[in-house]
Amino acid sequence: MSQHEQELECERAYVAGLYERLDAERGRVESRYSEALRGTGASAMERDVEVRAQHRELKRLGVADHGLCFGRLDSVDGEARYIGRIGLFDEDDDYRPMLLDWRAPAARPFYTATAASPEDMRRRRQLHTRGRQVTGFTDEVLGRPDGESDGDAALLAAVNAPRGEGMRDIVATIQAEQDRIIRLDHQGVLVIEGGPGTGKTVVALHRVAYLLYTQRERMERSGVLVVGPNPAFLNHIGRVLPSLGESDVVFATTGDLVPGLHVTAEDVPEVARLKGSRKALDVLRAAVAERQGVPEEPRHVELEDVTVRIDAATAEWARQEARDSGLPHNEARAVFTEIVTYVLTERAIGRIGKGWLTRENKEVWENLRADLLAELAEHTGFTEVLDDLWPVLTPQQLLADLYSSPERLRAVGEESLHRAEGAAWTVSDVPLLDELVDLLGEVKTTGTATDAEQAAEAEYAAGVMEILQTERHDLMDDEDHLLAQDLVRSEDLAERFVEHDTRDVAERAAADRDWTYRHVVVDEAQELSEMDWRVLMRRCPTRSFTVVGDLAQRRSAAGAHTWAGMLDRYVPGRWAYRELTVNYRTPAEIMEVAAALLADFAPEVTPPDSVRSCGVQPWHREVSECGMASAIEEFDRQEAAREGTSVVIGPRGVPGAVLPAETKGLEFDAVLVVEPARILAEGDRGVAELYVALTRATQRLGVVHAEPLPEVLSLLSS
């Protein structure tokens, strides 16, 4: 048996021992989980806490069935460290580490040591596995005098492998540039920018896994929000964090950020730009103010003994007092009602007691006032007048009424927002609806939770308050008082969560508009508008963000032109910028074509360097309009015979093609781009979308067109 075969057998034996240890630990946790479900000798609250804890541990152990151990580090002094998805310890040997979690500090050299800078390591070994079986290994000798390295084999094998249905984690092949970002010690907003294929999304997700590992207690209390551009993208990345053992995560698009709504429709660019700008705040405030009325003619209320009137002067006084209270619209209605009621009762008493009743008869006066107040409280006509002058409004009701009424839009100065169906929501409406929750205020209902039920979640509430209090000095309120609704009392927070609510953190957070997350990840962040950012800042008052994007790929008319323009308002001096420069996905042959387009519309941007070639030149083929369908069918047929994934990308109206925006953040082995000239016809937005389409392929790129091929794609072979 050769030395290589002997070492392979040793590695197989060691990994088999790790799986034995994993199975034993899983068996113990399953036993504790079953006991917790039975709840013998424990209160209901203690049982619920234990059930959740053991269930989380089961999920953590469950992710390690595949790829439990993927590497080994040998130090210069002979120590061997095995690296894997989770940490395992030998209970029979004073809890000696058998397997290091990839996030542990001692595992970091596995990603950062190089031939030139070995960090006291002499060898890095990549283990290749299938299921629980070690099939081989690749060694990289560190500390060579010439500084050369043969450590790219595992990386190239990973990037060249056929694509599956979802994004894969890169825990076994994290590169030094990526690792520095994943482990960066920065408490504010971290912006990660990188061109296509640089791995910025997967780096951001691994950073979340790292933060959850290093800040477990605080992060688990509030969970993490991951915001992506579309549902397909979220499905694509949705396996990464669970594969790393993390599940307290809410995935959402910007169209999902108001509970109960799932919006995907888009506005035309001009309307999206207006709704996404801070000018929309003035429109919303004007729309609310427009619903706070003053009667043109006096409104009469017929009481049992007298008829009283609400005139313009009375309503104007009441309106001003209500506005000056600083309360949201629905809550300020009480102030408006109080002033109007005071005037009406004064007038009624004056008429009823004319000639005989004075204020000196205090008891009679107050008794009569009490009778009048009771009558007004039950008076349908009075309520109808109040509803006309100061209606209770929901965000959906106010915005739908605004959009469908030319008169109301004229009153707020934005007639361009008119649409026949006011409630036909678009993604640009979601941040406006969220803003209106604060401007209008919620209609509070009487709760039924007991003191004991409120105490059941006191620990959770206290944890959130701890986050808010310890970092409150970092919060920067802007001129619009964005944070006025963020700093809730722990008693109010605890009321939302009672003992019988067995949902996990992610389920609770997704259903609660007022939930505040410990950390937020924003992918394709260049697409978010100023109003989108206001929503997200409300969701994370500690301002802990990982922001991922590429300004060169911006397609939204309301999106970011600079990161400072979006972030300085909220976190001046608290955001850091890191750039990824290496393209691991797009082969050099394809990136050369995309880079020519990039140089044409964004010459100031440097394209990322591709680490590999695929050996296949991207091509174009001119067809007749009648032959387009056949060309697409031929592509689909050829790719169906190959391993991997493929997609046809084209402008709206091409049968069998998806829009470029629907492929943002995704990757495929083969891509066929249809009618690039029609994509480009949409101006700046179209150029960005064509750039996205050209950079989705990992192996093969083709272009078919009936219209002339744009000159910028002249590098394509015929």
Whether 637 is covered by a domain: the verdict is: yes
CA–CA dist 60, 244 (Å, integer): 8
The answer to whether residues 244 and 356 belong to one domain is: no
Range of the domain at 630: 588-713
Are 465 and 534 contained in the same domain? no
N-terminal to C-terminal alpha carbon distance within the chain: 53
Please tell me the predicted confidence (pLDDT) of residue 454.
45
Residue 509 lies in a domain: no
Binding residues, by number, are 194-201
The pLDDT score that the predictor gives to residue 665 is: 81
The total number of structural domains that make up the chain: 5
Last residue of a domain, one of 123, 139, 174: 174
- Burial per residue of 207-220, b for 16 or more beta-carbon CB atoms within 10 angstroms, e otherwise: bbbbbbbeeeebbb
Task: In whole angstroms, give the CA distance from residue 212 to residue 121.
Answer: 28
Q: What is the pTM of this model?
A: 0.78
Among 394, 414, 440, the domain boundary falls at 440
Considering the domain architecture, whether residues 55 and 125 belong to the same structural domain is answered as yes
**Cβ–Cβ < 8 Å for 275, 526:** no
Q: Is 179 part of any domain?
A: no
- Domain-located, residue 502: no
Residue 400: the pLDDT is: 97
Please tell me the predicted confidence (pLDDT) of residue 356.
72
- Same domain (yes/no): 7, 156: yes
Same domain, 35 and 157: yes
pLDDT at position 209, please? 87
User: What's the confidence (pLDDT) of residue 567?
Assistant: 96
Domain boundary among 440, 461, 489: 440
Do the beta carbons of residue 399 and residue 422 sit within 8 Å? yes
* 197 falls within a domain: yes
* Residue 89 located in a structural domain: yes
Residues 292 and 434 in one domain: yes
pLDDT value, residue 449 = 42
Mean pLDDT per 10-residue interval, the chain, length 718 residues: 91 95 91 80 72 79 82 92 92 86 91 83 90 90 58 56 58 81 92 91 89 81 88 82 74 92 93 96 97 95 91 96 96 96 89 73 84 92 96 96 96 93 96 97 55 45 46 42 40 42 73 91 95 96 94 91 95 93 90 93 87 92 95 95 94 92 90 96 87 94 96 92
pLDDT at 34: 85
Cβ(646)–Cβ(666) below 8 Å: no
Whether residues 530 and 592 share a domain: the answer is no
Handedness of CA 592, 595, 600, 605 (dihedral sign): negative
**pLDDT of 487:** 36
Instruction: Give a yes or no: residue 93 inside a domain.
Output: yes
649 and 693 belong to one structural domain: yes
Coil, helix or strand at residue 620:
strand
DSSP secondary-structure letter at 175? Answer: -
Residues 550, 656 within the same domain:
no
Residue 508 lies in a domain: no
Q: Which residues are annotated as a binding site for ATP?
A: 194-201
Examine the domain organization and report whether 304 and 201 are in the same domain: no
- Residues ≥6 apart with Cβ < 8 Å to 217: 463
| Structure-derived torsion over alpha carbons of residues 665, 667, 670, 676, reported in degrees to the nearest 10 | 10
Choose among 570, 525, 562, 566: nearest CA to 544. 570
- Which CATH number is 555's domain given? 3.40.50.300
pLDDT given for residue 212 in this prediction: 85
CA-nearest of 176, 245, 254 to 205 is 245
Note the pLDDT of residue 7.
93
Q: Are residues 597 and 655 in the same domain?
A: yes
Please state whether beta strands 582-583 and 646-649 pair in parallel, antiparallel, or not at all (unpaired).
unpaired
Picking from 478, 601, 638, the residue whose alpha carbon sits closest to that of residue 543 is 478
The verdict on 126 and 238 lying in the same domain is no
- Per-position b or e across 37-65, b if 16+ CB within 10 A of its CB: eeeeeeeebebbbbbbebbbbeebbebbe
198: left (phi over 0), alpha (psi -120 to 50) or beta: alpha
Q: Which residue matches tokens 């021992």?
A: 17
Please report the pLDDT score of residue 444 as a whole number: 59
